[in-house]
Structure 1
Amino acid sequence: MSRGRFETGSGPSQRMLRVGELVRHALAEILARGEVLDEVIANHVVTVPEVRMSPDLRIATCYVMPLGGKDEKAVVAALERNRRFLRGEIARRINLKFAPDIRFRLDESFDEAAHIDRLLRSEKVQRDVAAPRSDVDDEA
């Protein structure tokens, strides 16, 4: 009996991660070569930092970000318009039983990282880091 099928909260399986990377590489190659005939996509360099697969490998959620962060919504809308073409190209490049349905989401991890960086550089945090800790000195 398969262990991973009924477990909850265990994270993605090795197969989901591997297929996600295959889809990510194929999509990045298609976008880098300019194979999508769309003016919005042609005018932007689009990065694909992550692709998450559903457990049954039928849905690929692709997180994308235009380089420089400009026209994010327009780029995601253009990718959605060309979803059928991209699905067919990905199906030709990777060998799966079913071509996954592709969904595009804006990657917000860069914004989250910038926010955390701003917090760590704030005066309050810097003051707390620079303050001597007397409780550590007493234990030694």
Structure 2
Amino acid sequence: MPRNEKKTGQSASPRKLRVGELVRHAVADILSQGGVHDPVLETHLITVPEVRMSPDLKLATVYVMPLGGKDEKLVLAALEQHKRFLRGEVARRVNLKYAPDLRFRIDERFAEAERIEKLLRTPAVQKDLEPDSDQN
């Protein structure tokens, strides 16, 4: 086990991060260049903010988000349908011993950030954030 990996194997090694970034760029390029001929994918702009690799680099979890968060289920279904093609394209672009299996997930970070932002704007939180005049 590499020195920088925890015993749980959950931390990201530099190699996992590097390979994940290469796969992310490859998938993003394929999608942005219209490499997948699918009516759903051709009509949606899809961002690929992150790819997480398994420790053995044989599984890539690709986090995607359609622009505006619209038609997430349709986009996910279209990506799943073209998974084999995308895997082959990634294998051609990224030089690895094994082409990783691709698993697609919707990136929830944007929705979570918006939820936190709304919470911070609520009157109860704003009241707690105001400096107390009694403490001065």
TM-score interval (norm. to shorter): over 0.9
The TM-score with structure 1 as length reference comes to 0.91
Q: Aligned residue for 1:48? A: 48
Give the distance between the partners of 1:9 and 1:123, measured in 2 at CA.
Answer: 42
Q: Aligned residue for 2:128? A: 128
The alignment status of 1:113 with 2:113, answered yes or no, reads yes
Indicate conservation of the 8 Å contact 2:5/2:11, yes or no: no
Identity %: 61
Give the distance between the partners of 1:105 and 1:53, measured in 2 at CA.
Answer: 13
Within-5 A mapping of 1:36-75? 36-75=36-75
| 1:113-138 deviation digits (Å, cap 9, x = unpaired) | 00000011110111111141645x5x
Give the distance between the partners of 1:19 and 1:9, measured in 2 at CA.
Answer: 17
Give structure 1 regions of 4+ aligned residues with deviation exceeding 2 angstroms.
1-6
How far residue 8 of structure 1 moved from its aligned partner, in angstroms, is 1.3
Match of 1:97, SS? coil
Aligned alpha-carbon RMSD (Å): 1.7
Unaligned runs of 5+ in 1: none
Q: Aligned residue for 2:88? A: 88
The structure having more radius of gyration, on CA atoms, is 1
Give the distance between the partners of 2:123 and 2:29, measured in 1 at CA.
Answer: 43
| Counterpart amino acid of residue 70 in structure 1 | K
CA 75–3 in structure 1, closer or farther in 2 if over 3 Å, else same: same
Give the distance between the partners of 1:54 and 1:80, measured in 2 at CA.
Answer: 19
